[in-house]
Amino acid sequence: MDLIHKFLNILAPPFTFFSLLLFLPPYWTFKFFLSTIYTFFTENVAGKVVHITGASSGIGEHLAYEYAKRGARLALSARRETALREVADRARGYGSPDVIIMRADVSKVDDCRRLIDETLNHINYLDHLVNNAAIGAAVMFEEVTDITNLRPVMDTNFWGSVYTTRFALPHLKNSRGKIVVLSSADSWMPAARTGIYNASKAALVSLYETLRVEVGSNIGITIVTPGYIESELTKGKFLLGPDAKMGVDQDMRDVEVSAMPVGSVSGCAKSIVNATLRGDRYLTVPAWFRMTYIVKVLCPELVEWSFRMLYLSGSKNNTPAREAPSKKILDATGIKNLFYPSSIQSPQVKTE
């Protein structure tokens, strides 16, 4: 057996390289041809049923508006009922013929079962499931006094999508529907203090790529990996400090986002819906952010060193947020007003 592996160790790299040289040009040509066709023949969602989790703010809220403009019937869920009602009213104004809301916490399996049941009881079928609900965390791994306090990140970001998807799956198969999963570019970026959040988003990519194999063409799955988009996270709302308690810290936001341009949430939502209706398998918003993945794959040591220098000032793991080079660069250049939308510069964030 060892001899077989030694043989494959020698043969696999050149075989793979030359196979790709032959295969990639026709493959890319075929993909370009398909994408051109799908651009002109996108799905019409008028009258179709779309359930969006985490719809009370941020990307989820604006996804509701984009689907509403296309005449979709909406089922919106989140933990904040008052905010949901406001979103529902605006969605009706944008053209949705039917909007229902459900107060729920997707980290609870019974709530996720109820979300799907109530949607089906009201409208009888389900065409699109948008798994958007998420929370952030920005704290050094070894600073957390009780590591189980970080469990809500995985419970919400990963298990919340798993639960809703499992209960919705038979109905989506019947309608040959679609699943939209909001992962993040952080799934491949090793930014300090966001390890558990990054892991939850990477887990989503792995799960839904595997699920895509299992369900085949019965259900379309679009995996979205946004970069920095205006939202509660880019307003500085994270689990923070040794106790990992939810709070708003704009200094920490400046550390994590630094001098990176933050995209508009409305533009992001529009891109997501357009990609979903085309049947795209992946979407990164903004598109240029996908290049960070290529850099990470080709130069992992350089990326890790850069992040350590920017976020931790070399070997100083206990660098306070206000002293991190990533924040100093932002403050010194004075480009926050240019790169950060005004909507995220105010510390006011909707409460739970």
- The percent helix, strand, coil of the chain (3-state, each to 5) is 60, 10, 30
Q: Assess if residue 13 is contained within a domain.
A: no
52-78 as b/e, with b when 16 or more CB fall inside 10 Å?
bbbbbbbbbbbbbbbbbebebbbbbbb
Q: Assess if residue 279 is contained within a domain.
A: yes
Q: Are 268 and 337 in contact (CB under 8 A)?
A: no
Tokens matching residue 244: 């990992």
- Please state, for a pLDDT cut of 90, what percent of the chain lies above it: 73
Tokens matching residue 293: 């993945």
Question: How many CB atoms are closer than 10 A to CB 216?
Answer: 7
By CB neighbour count within 10 A (0-12 exposed, 13-18 middle, 19+ buried), where does 265 fall? buried
Q: Strand ranges (DSSP E) for 83-177?
A: 99-103, 128-131
Mean pLDDT of the chain: 92
Q: Assess if residue 210 is contained within a domain.
A: yes
For residue 347, the model assigns a pLDDT of 53
61-81 pLDDT tens trace? 999 999 999 999 999 999 999
Give the integer Cα–Cα distance in Å for 127 and 116.
12
Nearest 5 degrees, angle CA 67-CA 70-CA 76? Answer: 25
Write the CA distances from 16 to 22, 24, 59, 98, integer angstroms.
Answer: 10, 11, 39, 52
| pLDDT(318) > 80 | no
8-17, 86-95, 175-184, 247-256: the lowest-pLDDT one = 8-17
For residue 331, the model assigns a pLDDT of 87
Span 121-128, mean pLDDT? 93
292-309 pLDDT tens trace? 999 999 999 999 999 999
Span 249-272, mean pLDDT? 93
Q: Assess if residue 142 is contained within a domain.
A: yes
For residue 315, the model assigns a pLDDT of 47
Span 184-204, mean pLDDT? 96
| pLDDT(39) > 90 | no
* Domain extent for 235: 29-344
Q: Assess if residue 192 is contained within a domain.
A: yes
- Report the number of distinct structural domains present in the chain: 1
Q: Assess if residue 350 is contained within a domain.
A: no
Q: Assess if residue 197 is contained within a domain.
A: yes
What's phi and psi for 219, nearest 5 deg? Answer: -135, 130
145-186 pLDDT tens trace? 999 999 999 999 999 999 999 999 999 999 999 999 999 999
Dihedral over alpha carbons 149, 153, 159, 163 (to 10 degrees): 100
Active site residues: 197
Q: Assess if residue 158 is contained within a domain.
A: yes
CATH number of the domain where residue 238 is located: 3.40.50.720
For residue 40, the model assigns a pLDDT of 80
